[in-house]
Structure 1
Amino acid sequence: MTTANSPASGAEQSFVTIGTAGVTGVYYPSGGATCRIVNLSRHDHGVRCSAETTLGSISNIDQLREGNLDFGYVQSDWAHHAYHGTSVFASSEPFEDLRTVFSLHPEVATIVVKRNSDYRQFDDLKGARINIGSSGSGSAASWSAIVRRIGWAEEDQGNLSNLRTSQLADALCTGSIDAYFMLIGHPAALIEETQQLCGVRLLGIESSAVEALLQQSPYYKRAVIPAETYGNEKAIDSFGVVATFTTSAKMPEKIVRTLVKAVYENFDGFKDLHPALGALSANDMTDFGEAAPLHPGALHFFQEQGLLPSESTSAD
């Protein structure tokens, strides 16, 4: 965060950065929408912001820890692991200053193959060429956690790749890869693009595997990709996490409150900016499950709006 005096008013202005992900997902338009809403009233509250493309959740957490970002969109499971110093964060100190600001849409574990392929279920992918997301993304880390929990051996994972999301539709349709995996909100522009190029089939994840994941990992939730989202006749059973907007405990309460208030008071317009946000309600902003603790700037605002009980507490 940087501060400066406004030449026009002499009032102190704060400039904050929001880490998102690649431009074809939901994080980037969500970050852009947040900043547009905040910047419209910047002369009233003195806060300006900019949304930055990044590699995704893991990268955003690392940059928040290092102070290179002020806010970041993060999968709730990786917020949980970062705060506790587990999973991919086991080699570093727990990020005890990580704080949740609000939550958004569910992100569903999604496996995409070509419609005319022979892959019909998750286990058919053993030995296949699968793109699991960019290194440093939440999807790539989630893939490793998932296959470990459902018992795949190292050799079952075939040839894994880390292509950028902008490369995936072409890679699948030309046969460079057999499938791509990601945690993403639906409908997703990337999958719609792939559907138009060559037709897609979405693979479900067996209920027994999902049940094992839910028992071992409370930050996962059952999730469904609705029928007809991409021409699929039936709903696709899966699991998912929640997209959370995060910051550091060091971020001043006033600035956190400014961003939360801006999104909350313009919620209908915010939802209209991406189809994956369309089904959200204001109550979803406080449904962050097992992620990092709530920042007091967000907590106090949600209590004032009646979205959280007055006895709720933050970690601070």
Structure 2
Amino acid sequence: MFFKSTPWVAAAAAIVMAASMPSADAANRQFVTIGTGGVTGVYYPAGVSICRMVNKTRNQHGIRCDAAATGGSVYNSNAMANGQLDVGVVQSDVGYKGWHGEPPFRDKLEQMRSLFSLHPESVTLTARKDSGITKLADLKGKRVNIGNPGSGQARTAGELLSSCGIQRSDLALWGELKASEMPDALRDNKQDAYFYVVGHPTANIKDVAVGTDINLIPLQDACVNELVNKHPYFVKSSIPGGLYKGVDKPTPTYGVKATVLTTSALPSQSAYEIVKAVFENLDKFKRLHPAFQVLEKKKMLQGLTAPLHPGAERYYREQGLM
């Protein structure tokens, strides 16, 4: 059976065809997911803050950015390599190992690319004051949270203990809790201490210090100095006093930098726009978390352990930053 075409039928058909065809805007739209870390650390607000800057100008570049809480640096690196994440916040030491194919990575992550670095992160050892822990060697026989498997902090803390002659069997408990679970474990006296590689101040430690007397343990042993001198991604650092209740003096330690990485699969223009959104709104970005207050544009090109993404490099050259 055949129907005679009428003007309204033709118009309706045109509407249906138009609705079924993607618009130019839709065709150019891109969704970018940034892998971060636990919600109580700094990586999660870092990812949220980056996406906030990117999404403010979404109508200009078509990129929609979302931040996802994840297991941390190692997870983010593998997820980017597998195409499950587009961008990830990664500790500089983990990024170095990924690019060079060193453990915990089986193969070199050849597609890894750098966008920029963020805040310095200190290796932080928080202990209950009543645990008797005042130095690294005191951890023997204690209940210590190292970090959840797949996190950069677990890798970093494990490397520190191994370098300083403390084995898994030396601890009464080798904890593998996530960052968000650590304060409650310390507060409830289920653990004596926990490692956290983080920018300061952090709500994680502020939270536990409210109801529990704590110490931040200095990490300045000879074995620590050897570790820092051995690896290019480590630097000496100090946690200022007065950030946490009961901790009035600076705590000497060492650390890494938080870096924002991606892969060569990210389109060059997308990398350009992400970097541009952060750098051209840096003053606003710095107000989104206390750890970001130390950021300076030129220093955000330091501490990168994988090659720059071409899109990021184009922006930096245009701005005279390299």
Scaled by the length of structure 2, the TM-score of the pair is: 0.90
Number of the residue aligned with 1:302: 316
Q: How does 1:167-316 map to 2 (within 5 A)?
A: 167-230=181-244, 231-289=246-304, 291-308=305-322
Using the alignment, how far apart are the partners of 1:28 and 1:6 within structure 2?
33
Structure 2 letter corresponding to 1:12: N
Pick closer, same or farther for the CA change 1:11–1:43 going to 2, 3 Å: farther
Using the alignment, how far apart are the partners of 1:10 and 1:149 within structure 2?
53
Contact 2:168 2:174 survives alignment (8 Å):
no
What is the root-mean-square deviation of aligned Cα atoms in Å? 1.6
Pick closer, same or farther for the CA change 1:286–1:293 going to 2, 3 Å: same
Number of the residue aligned with 2:48: 32
Structure 1 letter corresponding to 2:31: F
Q: Deviations for 1:217-261, whole angstroms, at most 9, x for unmatched residues? A: 111111110121214232111110000000001211100000000
- State the aligned residue count: 301
Number of the residue aligned with 1:80: 96
Using the alignment, how far apart are the partners of 1:250 and 1:160 within structure 2?
38
The secondary structure found in structure 1 opposite 2:320 is coil
Alpha-carbon deviation of 1:11?
A: 5.3
Q: How does 1:113-128 map to 2 (within 5 A)?
A: 113-128=127-142
Contact 1:11 1:46 survives alignment (8 Å):
no
Using the alignment, how far apart are the partners of 1:18 and 1:205 within structure 2?
32
Could you list the runs of 5+ residues in structure 2 that have no partner in the other structure? 1-20
Structure 1 letter corresponding to 2:306: A
Q: Deviations for 1:184-223, whole angstroms, at most 9, x for unmatched residues? A: 0000100000110212110011241221012221111111
Number of the residue aligned with 1:98: 112
Using the alignment, how far apart are the partners of 1:119 and 1:154 within structure 2?
17
Using the alignment, how far apart are the partners of 1:170 and 1:11 within structure 2?
47
Alpha-carbon deviation of 1:135?
A: 1.2
Q: Which of 49, 57, 60 is the aligned partner of 2:73? A: 57
Structure 2 letter corresponding to 1:38: V
Using the alignment, how far apart are the partners of 2:107 and 2:53 within structure 1?
35
Could you list the runs of 5+ residues in structure 1 that have no partner in the other structure? 309-316
Pick closer, same or farther for the CA change 1:149–1:260 going to 2, 3 Å: same
Pick closer, same or farther for the CA change 1:9–1:94 going to 2, 3 Å: closer
Q: Over alpha carbons, which structure has the higher Rg? A: 2
The secondary structure found in structure 2 opposite 1:278 is helix
Using the alignment, how far apart are the partners of 1:16 and 1:276 within structure 2?
24
Which stretches of structure 1, 4 residues or more, deviate above 4 A after TM superposition? 5-11
In the alignment, structure 1 residue 157 sits paired with structure 2 residue 174: no
Structure 2 letter corresponding to 1:21: G
Using the alignment, how far apart are the partners of 1:293 and 1:166 within structure 2?
32
Structure 2 letter corresponding to 1:148: S
Pick closer, same or farther for the CA change 1:102–1:121 going to 2, 3 Å: same
Using the alignment, how far apart are the partners of 2:23 and 2:49 within structure 1?
26
Structure 2 letter corresponding to 1:199: D
Identity fraction in percent: 41
